[in-house]
Every structure is written in structure tokens, then in C-alpha cells.
Chains A and B, each alone.
Chain A
Amino acid sequence: DAGVIQSPRHEVTEMGQEVTLRCKPISGHDYLFWYRQTMMRGLELLIYFNNNVPIDDSGMPEDRFSAKMPNASFSTLKIQPSEPRDSAVYFCASSFFPGQGEKLFFGSGTQLSVL
């Protein structure tokens, strides 16, 4: 299996622009998570899906952030408009529950820089 695939690996954009991050989870995993990692705040859960349905989006910082999962093999995280404080590494992770509910499989992340 190729693991969790994220694109792009790096994104540099200007303040005010729309940013779309993409994720392909591991086939057969029914949970998908979006995390953000910064030096100051560490790894933070933004939102997670179960069977393509958003379950908990309480970690989404504000209305500028939105996430979708149109099918079991694809999810997007969109920031519109982007701001410099959104600069971070964004990780997508997937999991299969039950059985491995505590094990998250992470992608390699998207390094986002908002200028």
C-alpha cells in the first residue's frame, strides 16, 4: 500500500489567496483526520470524518477553513482567504476502527507558507 498521500508537498501563497490541500487515505480506512502542526501549538486536530461524514470540526480555527470528503478515497482542506498565521504543516491521517482505532497513519504533510 502506498500509504496516505498528500498534495502538494509545499505551497507558498500570498495573503488573501485560496489554498486547497488534498489527501488520499489508505484504502479500507474509514476514519480520516486533518491535523495542523506548528512549533508553538504542536499537533492539533482540526476535523475528522467517519465514512465520509464530518464528525467533529471543533478544532477548525474559524470559518475561513472548510473540509470535504466527497468519497472514501479523497478529502480536501480549503483555506479562504489565507492569512500568514495559517502557515504550518498540515497532515492528513487515516485509521481503521475497530481493531486499530488508536493507530493513526499519517501522510508526509503539506508545508504551507502564507506571505
Chain B
Amino acid sequence: QKEVEQDPGPLSVPEGAIVSLNCTYSNSAFQYFMWYRQYSRKGPELLMYTYSSGNKEDGRFTAQVDKSSKYISLFIRDSQPSDSATYLCAMSMYSSASKIIFGSGTRLSIRP
């Protein structure tokens, strides 16, 4: 079993819809949770970062962490075609980039 599980998709939704992306994990020691966005033929870029449980909002994006269920989510409101990308969840036990474990990524397509 992988430490981090993520549905690969693809997920296709119409423009303006609310998108929900999710990951589950098995290691209860994870404390730092991230979402990276990766456009085609580009490297991943950090989108959201949260520590421990709770919600964090940044514009149209909300990251949610439920440590009791070992479940994290990324919500995108008012989705735009420019949001079409692969979204990778990532997590680590330490505040150190050397220990980040990535999910396999979910491909998201927003239809105009």
C-alpha cells in the first residue's frame, strides 16, 4: 500500500463548477500538507500549504485537512479553464523539503 493515495482521474467539469480533489494517507505522523499544481510540460508549483488539521483559504482555493480520517482535500470554486492541470497532494512529517511524499496526481480538465 502506498503511503499517499490519490485518484488519478481524469476529472472533467464545466467552467464555473466547484471541484473537489482528495488524497488519503496511511502515516499518522504526517503534519505538513501541500498541494502542487503541474501544467503540461512544466514542473510542479506549490499551490497551498497547511500545517496540521483545519482549513486554509487562498482566493478560489481552499485546502482542508482531517487528520483523524487521514484525508486531505483541495476545493476550487468558480473553476476556470486555466485551472486545467494535474494536481499533486504532498505531505511530510517534518518542516523539511527533503521528506516530502507526493501523491500520483489527479488530472483535471475544465470545459469552457
Give Cα distance in the complex from A31 to B98, angstroms.
8
Query: By the criterion of a CB under 8 Å from any partner CB, how many residues of chain A are at the interface?
Result: 24
Stretch binding the partner chain, chosen from A71-79, A80-88, A95-103:
A95-103
**Interface membership of B29, Cβ < 8 A:** no
* Size category, B interface: 20 to 34
A40-63 interface (Cβ within 8 A of B)? 42-43, 45, 48, 50, 55-56
Pick the contact of A102: B43, B45, B92 (CB < 8 A). B92
User: Which residue in chain B gives the minimum CB-CB distance to A96?
Assistant: B97
Give Cα distance in the complex from A48 to B97, angstroms.
10
A101 to B105, Cβ gap below 8 A?
no
Give Cα distance in the complex from A109 to B104, angstroms.
17
- The residues of B with any CB-CB pair to A shorter than 8 Å are 32, 34, 36, 41-46, 49, 88, 92, 95-98, 100, 102-105
